[in-house]
Amino acid sequence: MMLSGLKRMLVGNPLASHQDSHERLNIPLALSVFAADALSSTAYATEEILLALLAASALLQANALSIPIAASIVLLMAIVVLSYRQVIVAYPSGGGSYEVARERLGPLASQIAGAALLIDYVLTVAVSVSAGVAAIISAEIPGLGAAQQVPMALMFILIMTLINLRGVKESGKVLAFPAYSFIGMMILLIVLGFYQVSQGHVPPTPVGTVESPLDLAWNGGLLLLALKGFSHGCAALTGIEAVSNGVQAFKEPVARNANRTLVLMGLILGSFFVGITVLANVFHIMPHHDRTVISLIAAQVFGDGTWMFLLFQATTTIILILAANTSFAGFPRLANILAHDGFLPRQLMSLGDRLVFSNGILILGLVSGLLVWMYHAETHALIPLYAVGVFLSFTLAQAGMVNYHLHHRHKGWKWGIAVNALGAVTTGVVTLILTVEKFMDGAWLVCVAIPILIWLFRAVASHYKTIARQLALPTIGGHCPIPFEHTVLVLVSSLNRGTIPALEYAKSIGHHVEAVHISLNEAGTQRLKDAWDDWGCGIPLTILHSPYRSLIEPLLDYIDVVEDRYDHDIVTIVVPEFVTKQWWHNLLHNQTSLLIKTILRFRKGKVVTSVRYYLEE
């Protein structure tokens, strides 16, 4: 009762299945749920470009190259948005890249897409929460420093997990205010920033210090340098695919509402990304070892330490942390689809009390928390793992859509092929660039994790096929139940009120019934013998001596003896148990019966039955 009450307090009361349609999202709520990740990337994407370009300080000012790189990323963003509009129309059931690859490119391509997306969702949570913690530290709040990064990140992941366990619509309501507050503050920052530029309020010297975790001795050509900055800045595109994966979370008409949300998200994201990058250029902002680029821009526009600056930092922090919600919306739904196809455990198909895939939410929270702990909540350490999986799934989705248009040839199919072919080629090239540029920085881990996940998918699918084959009924003939010839062994540790019902039950079902006692204590065994004639229900008592004080080995050996002794169909082992009134009372008693049942479940031809006696106090 106490655990149930705690669950209701944290998660809320159960929702009936017919309430699913009421839990779906309109466009304003969907934008806060699915766009949080994409919008929050504007808080660190420009900084990642500048960090990659700091090695160019001997060649040119790094900021000057950031603008054409940002422009090329926005162009790529437009191509991806147009491409995913095609995906949503063709596959309104959701699943995005995975479903397109499964239907159009075959099992291997779909497994690659599924693995890449699952990895990206986990990384999204880890990166966004870590970036949010970095924004808190950038505000220079007394008592909050690097030592608090990991505990704060883990706490925020726990909070996001609990919010999402309460349901999709409720998480959307929680996200709406901070999401739109962030959008409002970003618009204010960019508008005021450009106003200051127009008035000539530009600092004469760079703001921040040139300190980079990257190799400052890197001396490649200008093109390779630009590709390096481009690959790091592509973090701005993460999260765009989330809408196509979660189409079924939208209100009807789902495809139209999802597409409108996607376009709106792309417009806001592109505008913010370009605006921040241009402001970083004109204000000469460079990365600082303990201040984020966006916080330095905010300090320049609003004034360092002012209430407007602190408000901006607060909204940025909250949206970065809540950006993890995009993954909490997408990961469980994708895991559910993979489980339906037999590639993941079937428990991931189950809807929880609040009509969400609770098991997927819990797994995402645990794995992302582990990743944050392993990488010490360092955004720059996690970023190199990021985006490779996203662009790999982009490429597979667009290639699959080319096949779709060639096969169906609906109205406008030529335009569709042009858009998706351009998307496939572009994102394919970006995938290659990302893999090469980030390989030694950590992308190799993703390249290893994807094949491991594919192997896991196939192992799970093989297991389910094997089980289905062994459980399948024969196609010819039928089967009528026949009575079993039972031999029943009742495990008796002592004689008490809980033992008698087990003995009575054994006599009601068995042809050969024995009570079995494993002697670990001579005095206790003697007390049992003395009372057996009065309370043993006429059942013979067998004493097994255990000189090494083991319960399991003598019992298993005797079961083998019994099987050879009688001509029977099955051996039933009856285990008497008493059930305490309070759950915590179990901590005061050994769990021998649980151990015995666990061991016996792996022995063929045995039925293990518990006969429970319920205590009143």
Residue 105 CA to residue 99 CA, distance in Å, equals 10
> What is the predicted pLDDT for the residue at 456?
94
Q: What tokens were used for 190?
A: 């960019």
> What is the predicted pLDDT for the residue at 63?
59
Coil, helix or strand for 60? Answer: coil
- Position with higher pLDDT, 1 vs 396: 396
- Position with higher pLDDT, 201 vs 493: 493
- List the one residue out of 240, 281, 246 whose CA is nearest residue 73: 240
Using left for φ > 0, alpha for ψ between -120 and 50, and beta otherwise, residue 409 falls in left
Specify the CATH class of 27-465 in words.
mainly alpha
> What is the predicted pLDDT for the residue at 275?
92
Q: How confident is the model at residue 343 (pLDDT cuts 50, 70, 90)?
A: very high
pLDDT over threshold 80, residue 364: yes
pLDDT over threshold 80, residue 338: yes
Residue 607 CA to residue 613 CA, distance in Å, equals 20
> Where are the strands (E) in 467-540, listed by range?
486-491, 512-519
Encode pLDDT of 496-517 as tens digits. Answer: 888 888 888 888 887 788 999 9
pLDDT over threshold 90, residue 191: yes
Q: How confident is the model at residue 190 (pLDDT cuts 50, 70, 90)?
A: very high
CATH architecture of 486-614: 3-Layer(aba) Sandwich (3.40)
> What is the predicted pLDDT for the residue at 568?
61
**Contact between residue 400 and residue 101 where contact means Cβ atoms under 8 Å apart:** yes
Could you write out the DSSP letters of every residue in 286-341?
---SSS-HHHHHHHHHH-TTSHHHHHHHHHHHHHHHHTHHHHHHHHHHHHHHHHHT
Q: How confident is the model at residue 193 (pLDDT cuts 50, 70, 90)?
A: very high
**From residue 209, how far is each of 135, 169, 173, 206 by CA, in Å?**
17, 44, 40, 8
- Identify the helix (H) or strand (E) that includes residue 607: strand 606-614
Using left for φ > 0, alpha for ψ between -120 and 50, and beta otherwise, residue 473 falls in beta
What average pLDDT score do residues 440-453 get? 85
Q: What tokens were used for 329?
A: 């919306």
Residue 610 CA to residue 361 CA, distance in Å, equals 34
Q: Give the sign of the dihedral formed by CA 575, CA 580, CA 586, CA 589.
A: negative
pLDDT over threshold 80, residue 153: yes
Residue 468 CA to residue 471 CA, distance in Å, equals 5
SS3 letters across 223-251:
HHHHHHHHHHHHHHHCCCCHHHHCHHHEC
Residue 198 CA to residue 570 CA, distance in Å, equals 89
**Contact between residue 316 and residue 135 where contact means Cβ atoms under 8 Å apart:** yes
Mean of per-residue pLDDT scores for the chain: 79
> What is the predicted pLDDT for the residue at 586?
67
> What is the predicted pLDDT for the residue at 534?
83
Q: What tokens were used for 318?
A: 């909250």
Residue 438 CA to residue 392 CA, distance in Å, equals 14
pLDDT over threshold 90, residue 529: no
- Position with higher pLDDT, 548 vs 156: 156
- Identify the helix (H) or strand (E) that includes residue 395: helix 388-408
Give the whole-number percent of the chain exceeding pLDDT 90: 8
Catalogue the long-range contacts made by 337-341 (C-beta closer than 8 Å, 24 or more residues apart): 337/94, 337/95, 337/98, 337/99, 338/98, 338/114, 338/118, 338/457, 341/102, 341/461
> What is the predicted pLDDT for the residue at 171?
56
What average pLDDT score do residues 186-199 get? 91
Residue 39 CA to residue 184 CA, distance in Å, equals 12
Q: How confident is the model at residue 34 (pLDDT cuts 50, 70, 90)?
A: confident
Encode pLDDT of 372-412 as tens digits. Answer: 898 887 876 776 676 788 888 888 988 988 988 888 888 87
Give per-residue burial for 557-577: e unless 16+ CB within 10 Å, then b.
Answer: ebbeebeeeeebeebbbbbbb
> Which of these ranges, 9-18, 197-206, 473-482, has the smallest mean pLDDT?
9-18
- Position with higher pLDDT, 476 vs 376: 376
Give domain limits for the chain.
Answer: 27-465, 486-614
Vertex 370: Cα angle to 42 and 179 (nearest 5): 30
SS3 letters across 423-453:
HHHHHHHHHHHHHHHHHHHHHHHHHHHHHHH
Is the N-terminal amide bond of 253 cis, ω within 30° of 0?
Answer: yes
Q: How confident is the model at residue 213 (pLDDT cuts 50, 70, 90)?
A: very low
pTM summary value: 0.72
> What is the predicted pLDDT for the residue at 215?
43
> What is the predicted pLDDT for the residue at 377?
79
Q: How confident is the model at residue 272 (pLDDT cuts 50, 70, 90)?
A: very high
Residue 76 CA to residue 104 CA, distance in Å, equals 23
- List the one residue out of 615, 617, 616 whose CA is nearest residue 498: 615
Q: What tokens were used for 15?
A: 């929702």
> What is the predicted pLDDT for the residue at 600?
80
What average pLDDT score do residues 107-132 get? 87
Coil, helix or strand for 549? Answer: coil
Overall residue count recorded for the chain in this entry: 617
Residue 587 CA to residue 240 CA, distance in Å, equals 49
Q: Give the sign of the dihedral formed by CA 474, CA 479, CA 481, CA 486.
A: negative
pLDDT over threshold 80, residue 20: no
> What is the predicted pLDDT for the residue at 216?
40
Coil, helix or strand for 139? Answer: coil
